[in-house]
């Protein structure tokens, strides 16, 4: 398995519902032909790793939007 970083760890404040927010960091990486977005909280605890579909190899601003939806889904679960 060849792993390479596409976007190194980036800090972000994600706005949630009802004026709530969450401080997170994320990285985007590739393993073989698959792309992943890994999300951790501000204490470096793993929150979620999302495999990005082929059509979602995005730019940085799009990853920020994706973070919110991932967090809302994980918090709701």
Distance, CA of 14 to CA of 28 (rounded, Å) = 17
**Which of 60, 53, 52, 55 lies closest to 7 in space, CA to CA?**
60
Answer yes or no: is pLDDT of 46 > 90: yes
- State the pLDDT at residue 59: 66
* Tens-place pLDDT, residues 31-44: 988 889 899 988 99
Distance, CA of 28 to CA of 20 (rounded, Å) = 25
Answer yes or no: is pLDDT of 26 > 70: yes
- State the pLDDT at residue 70: 77
**Which of 40, 6, 38, 7 lies closest to 23 in space, CA to CA?**
40
The token pair at 9 is 């760890």
- State the pLDDT at residue 71: 76
- For the chain, give every domain's residue range: 3-76
């Amino acid at each position: 398995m060849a792993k390479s970083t596409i976007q190194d760890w980036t800090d972000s404040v994600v706005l949630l519902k009802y004026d709530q927010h969450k401080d997170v960091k994320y990285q985007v990486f590739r393993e073989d032909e698959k792309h992943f977005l890994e999300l951790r909280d501000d204490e470096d605890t793993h929150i979620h790793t999302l495999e990005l579909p082929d059509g979602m190899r995005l730019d940085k601003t799009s990853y920020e939007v994706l973070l919110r939806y991932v967090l809302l889904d994980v918090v709701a679960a």
